[in-house]
Amino acid sequence: MTQSILITGANGLLGRKLVDLLGGRKSLRLIATGKGEKRIPGTDFEYVSLDVCDGDAVRYVVKETRPTVVIHCAAMTNVDACELDPKACQAANVDAVRFVIEGCEKAGARLVHLSTDFVFDGADGPYDENAVPNPLSVYGKCKWKAEEYVKVAKIPAAIVRTMLIYGVTPDMSRSNIVLWVKKSLEEGKTIRVVNDQYRMPTLAEDLAAGLAEIVFREKTGLWHLSGAEGMTMYELALKVAGHWGLNPELITATDSASLNQPARRPPRTGFILLKAQTELAYRPTSFKAGLNIVAQQLLNYAR
Ligand X SMILES: NC(=O)c1ccc[n+]([C@@H]2O[C@H](COP(=O)([O-])OP(=O)(O)OC[C@H]3O[C@@H](n4cnc5c(N)ncnc54)[C@H](OP(=O)(O)O)[C@@H]3O)[C@@H](O)[C@H]2O)c1
Positions in the binding site for ligand X (CB under 6 A): 8-9, 11-15, 34-36, 51-53, 73-77, 92, 114, 116, 162-165, 173-174
Residue closest to 166 by CA, chosen among 240, 113, 220? 240
Could you write out the three-class secondary structure of 198-224?
EECCEEHHHHHHHHHHHHHCCCCEEEE
Taking the complex as a whole, the smallest distance from the CB of residue 67 to ligand X amounts, in Å, to 16
Q: Which is nearer to ligand X, 199 or 219 (CB)?
A: 199
Output Rg (C-alpha) for the chain, integer angstroms. Answer: 19
301 given a catalytic annotation: no
Q: Which is nearer to ligand X, 1 or 290 (CB)?
A: 290
Taking the complex as a whole, the smallest distance from the CB of residue 161 to ligand X amounts, in Å, to 7
Taking the complex as a whole, the smallest distance from the CB of residue 41 to ligand X amounts, in Å, to 15
Spell out the residues 6+ positions from residue 116 whose beta carbon is closer than 8 angstroms to its own. Answer: 139, 140, 143, 161, 162, 163
Q: Which amino acid is at 65?
A: T
Taking the complex as a whole, the smallest distance from the CB of residue 251 to ligand X amounts, in Å, to 20
Contact 70, 211 (CB under 8 A): no
Query: Cα-flanking dihedrals φ and ψ of residue 221, to 5°?
Result: 90, -165
Q: Is 177 helix (H, G, I), strand (E, B) or coil?
A: helix
Find the catalytic residue in 47, 139, 234, 282. 139
Taking the complex as a whole, the smallest distance from the CB of residue 249 to ligand X amounts, in Å, to 27
Q: Which is nearer to ligand X, 37 or 249 (CB)?
A: 37
**Residues 244, 247, 252, 256: what is their CA dihedral angle, to the nearest 10 degrees?**
-10
Beta bridge partners of 52: none
Spell out the residues 6+ positions from residue 286 whose beta carbon is closer than 8 angstroms to its own. Answer: 228, 229
Q: Which is nearer to ligand X, 74 or 291 (CB)?
A: 74
Beta bridge partners of 70: 6, 111
Q: Which is nearer to ligand X, 151 or 248 (CB)?
A: 151
Taking the complex as a whole, the smallest distance from the CB of residue 27 to ligand X amounts, in Å, to 26
Count Cα atoms within 13 angstroms, Cβ side, for 267.
Answer: 7
DSSP state of 286: P
Which active-site residues does the annotation give?
A: 139
